[in-house]
Structure 1
Amino acid sequence: MSRAAPPVRDGLRMAFGTLTAVPVPPPRAVDRRVAGVAMTLAPLAALFLAALAVPAVLLGTWLGLPPLVSAVAAIGVVTFGSRGLHLDGLADTADGLAASYDRDRALDVMRRGDVGPTGVVTLVLAVLTQVAALAGIVASGPTPATAVSAMAIAVVAGRGMLPLCCVRGLPSARPEGLGAAVAGSVPPGVAAVVAALVIAAAAVVTAVVPGPPWWQGVLAVLLGWLAAGALLGHAVRRFGGVTGDVLGACVETATLVTLVVFSASGLDPLR
């Protein structure tokens, strides 16, 4: 019992310290077990980010602000709450994929601190799409709770992709960096349990909150993960494994697609 506790505590610190801007003490040690726990608990850390978006949407609605303003505020607080980590990874991954078919050169491009034109365009389009999708949900939802729940599910689903990206069998593209620390650190059974819990939570929330049917929440999460999984597979083939940037890109892709599916009110045959 005493040996199991430190990895959980350190993993929780690593999850919040890496994925959010919450000032937590650093892990006393980071090894494969701690990294695996951190990635497993990523959806839990996402609840803090989701909580940041709630007052942004509710306050905007109470003040009568345009849905676009509320959406920008909600996406903005989540982005700053995670220090823009995943958007940075998305931009770097886009630059790496566009740079060259040579693996080493692509990884070198991703390692640099600057962002190229492909990364900039990808970043702008991703943020605009997330804002537009959330604005549509705010405008069409019967209550503010509809947009709040959709945003929360999207944020948790995005971070819920991390255990799937770090499941055993997926190699790291480099011997150093965040990707090397977490790649292959999550047992398949644990990743499956986390995925099932996220899907179940999405179903329950969409069933309780007025708006889309329960199955739309499940569909949104699954399609988000499918899109992120396609990106992950492409990145592994191109780079030879995962990197921290690839993980961030998968998080943003899953979040974006989940929001877009929630914004597609035409999926509800009862509307």
Structure 2
Amino acid sequence: MDTTPEPPQSQPSARPPEPEPGPEPERPEHPRRPDYDPPPAHAPRAPWSDGIRFAFGTLTVLPVRGTRWDREAAHAGMLCAPLAGLAVGLCAAAVGGVSLFLGGGALLAAVATVAIPAVLTRGLHLDGLADTADGLGSGKPAEDALRIMKRSDIGPFGVITLLFVLLGQVAALAELYGQDWAHGAVGAAVAGVTARCALTLAARVGVPAARPEGLGAAVAGSVPWRSAGVVAALTVVGCAAVAVPFGPYDVVRNAFAALAALAAAELLLHHCHRRLGGVTGDVFGALAETAATTALVVLTFG
């Protein structure tokens, strides 16, 4: 009899229940192609014609109608700002020349020359100078200073600043017209060009707007550093070139006047950036008047 035990039979392994078939997961649909071609990541720059219209329409009251007010137009417009200043300066020089021709003295011609830029800008730059002086002179924090600058009235700091700036401009132009009309005319043109070139430099990349609205926010950071430097260099060379008929000394003096004007505006810009956190439309006006006054005063040296 065979007593060998039989091998144990293997038990079938337990299998997990198979999942019941469910609905297939929905696949994300591809977005429908738009009916238009989307704009490029970097919009093209505005043509120079739009920039000139932007500069004249924003910085003067001359009958030049702007067609674009976007960032690209602001970029081109701030590069063209010295051209608007040249037009204002030439108009001021023409009025001063008429005053001299009609028999008015150098002082009367100087007053007329100073009045024309105020008329052609509706006094916005002078108003900005007064408001900036009130804001900075208050010694209060940035938010309070900006609130003071936004008021419609003018405080004591603004009145005093306007008084000395206008007296300085008139005195300098009277000195230049005392030499002859040509020196006064060149002074008016140099002051106008350097004043608006200071705005070009203030609109460069890296200088923020202190408020989210207004002219400062529209143009702040719209000009690359290299472009701003080129415009500044051309401005200094142009101011020196117009003095060639007067001799080499006047060429050097005009170049130094332009450099000093831009340097004075840069010092004020740095102070406003530190105190207010950026630029505003009022700060732009203060920069323009500071540069114009500095250029005129330096032109009287020697």
TM-score (norm 2): 0.82
> Does the CA-based 8 Å contact 2:136-2:145 persist in structure 1?
yes
Deviation at 1:82, TM superposition (A): 1.5
Q: Which residue of 1 aligns with 2:30?
A: none
Structure 2 distance, partners of 1:26, 1:129, is 34
Structure 2 distance, partners of 1:152, 1:40, is 18
Q: Which residue of 1 aligns with 2:202?
A: 165
Q: Which residue of 1 aligns with 2:53?
A: 13
For structure 1, which segment, 6-15 or 123-132, has the greater mean C-alpha deviation from structure 2 after superposition? 6-15
1:226 aligns with 2:263: yes
Q: Which residue of 2 aligns with 1:72?
A: 111
List alignment gaps of at least 5 residues for structure 1. Answer: 267-271
Q: How does 1:190-269 map to 2 (within 5 A)?
A: 190-209=227-246, 213-264=250-301, 266=302
Structure 2 distance, partners of 1:83, 1:209, is 34
Q: Deviations over 1:32-70 (max 9, x none)?
A: 211111111101111221121122222222233221100
Give the partner amino acid of 1:21: V
The 3 A distance-change label for structure 1 pair 211 and 193 is closer
- The number of equivalent residue pairs is 260
Q: Deviations over 1:103-158 (max 9, x none)?
A: 1100001111111111111111111110011001111x2x3111101110111111
Structure 1 distance, partners of 2:219, 2:62, is 20
Give the partner amino acid of 1:38: G
Q: Which residue of 1 aligns with 2:87?
A: 48
> Does the CA-based 8 Å contact 2:205-2:222 persist in structure 1?
yes
Give the partner amino acid of 2:55: A
Deviation at 1:81, TM superposition (A): 1.1
Q: Which residue of 1 aligns with 2:8?
A: none
Deviation at 1:234, TM superposition (A): 0.6
Structure 1 distance, partners of 2:55, 2:92, is 19
> Does the CA-based 8 Å contact 1:32-1:185 persist in structure 2?
yes
Structure 2 distance, partners of 1:130, 1:226, is 18
> Does the CA-based 8 Å contact 1:224-1:254 persist in structure 2?
yes
1:153 aligns with 2:190: yes
Greater Cα radius of gyration, structure 1 or 2: 2
1:123 aligns with 2:162: yes
User: What RMSD in Å do the two structures reach over aligned CA positions?
Assistant: 1.6
The 3 A distance-change label for structure 1 pair 152 and 69 is same
For structure 1, which segment, 202-211 or 230-239, has the greater mean C-alpha deviation from structure 2 after superposition? 202-211
| Secondary structure in structure 1 of the residue aligned to 2:213 | coil
Q: Which residue of 1 aligns with 2:126?
A: 87
Structure 2 distance, partners of 1:165, 1:40, is 11
List alignment gaps of at least 5 residues for structure 2. Answer: 1-42
> Does the CA-based 8 Å contact 1:40-1:162 persist in structure 2?
no
> Does the CA-based 8 Å contact 1:11-1:27 persist in structure 2?
no
Pick one of 138, 142, 146 that aligns with 1:103: 142
Deviation at 1:263, TM superposition (A): 1.2
Deviation at 1:4, TM superposition (A): 5.1
| Secondary structure in structure 2 of the residue aligned to 1:201 | helix
Structure 1 distance, partners of 2:124, 2:281, is 9
Deviation at 1:31, TM superposition (A): 2.1
Q: Which residue of 2 aligns with 1:59?
A: 98
Structure 2 distance, partners of 1:59, 1:23, is 22
